[in-house]
Structure 1
Amino acid sequence: MANDTEKPKLSKNLMQMKFMQRKQQSDDREKLEEEEQRVIDEEHWVLDIPELKKLESRYEVIDSFVPCEGLKYGRFSFQGFNPAIEKIAKSFEVAKEEEASEAKEKEESVSDDEMARRYEAIVGTIQKKFGKKRHRNSTGDEPQVKKKKKKFLKPKED
């Protein structure tokens, strides 16, 4: 029964052929590498330290260079090379100009209340300018009355 489980051995002449020798050498190399790996694994030290958590970075990583270059829409086209890109660029330019003009208009515009206050001030100034000389210093239509010059009053003695 012992003979039934054993594999039949190949002949000596067959084992001396080159392809059989190469196969035998590769098998020997694999066994040697496995043995070396097993020895390394057994000798390898393992520390019982918990894994360190990954520290959060203070830096933001961006895969694109677009923010660094300050590009508006990411691509450029020159002299009609890519008409679709040039069309997009033109639409961005128009939108930017509209925003700038709206901001400028809003900055320069005057509200109704502010306009009324300015108009009142201008009307008063013009009225003073074209009024008669005696009425220029007063605000009303009545002639100006001369004010008496106040004299120094002596303090009372107790």
Structure 2
Amino acid sequence: MAGNRGQNKNVRLSKNLSEMKFMQRRVKKDAEEELESEKQRQIDDDHWVLDLPDLISKGNRYETVDSMADCEDLVFGRMSFKGMNPVIEKVMRIMNGEEEEEEEELEEKAEGVTEEEMANRYSSLVGTIGKKFDKKRIHSQTDVDAPRKKHKKKFLKPPDE
């Protein structure tokens, strides 16, 4: 009987069966669906549609931009100079490309100490620091050429007469 609901409208159910709650709910639901479809049909009939040719979309005249960097033609959003923010400077170097990195490396080499200068300075420091840790006797023997320090004069007690 459930399969024949929509097909056979002439089937009459007994009065007792049609008065049961589940049957009344079903009848009410069917009536609401039919009323809803009738309303939709009425709206479709009343709805006016203009038969105009499709307008060619010109596209959006305005462009929305989230960042001021694009408006001002800035390469970087945040900038840093002379080591104030090393993280941002590193990002700037990466975005600029390798050319500027090579230039910075050359500048660092020019400002820094060359390997030869470092070796000369290190060799002279080894002797100087080595002298510092020598014992006093060994230190005095190695500095024979160096002028001796004059000892401070101490108070001399006058002889007893």
- Asked if TM exceeds 0.5, the reply is no
TM-score range, shorter chain: 0.3 to 0.5
TM-score between the two structures when normalised by the length of structure 2: 0.38
Structure 1 length-normalised TM: 0.38
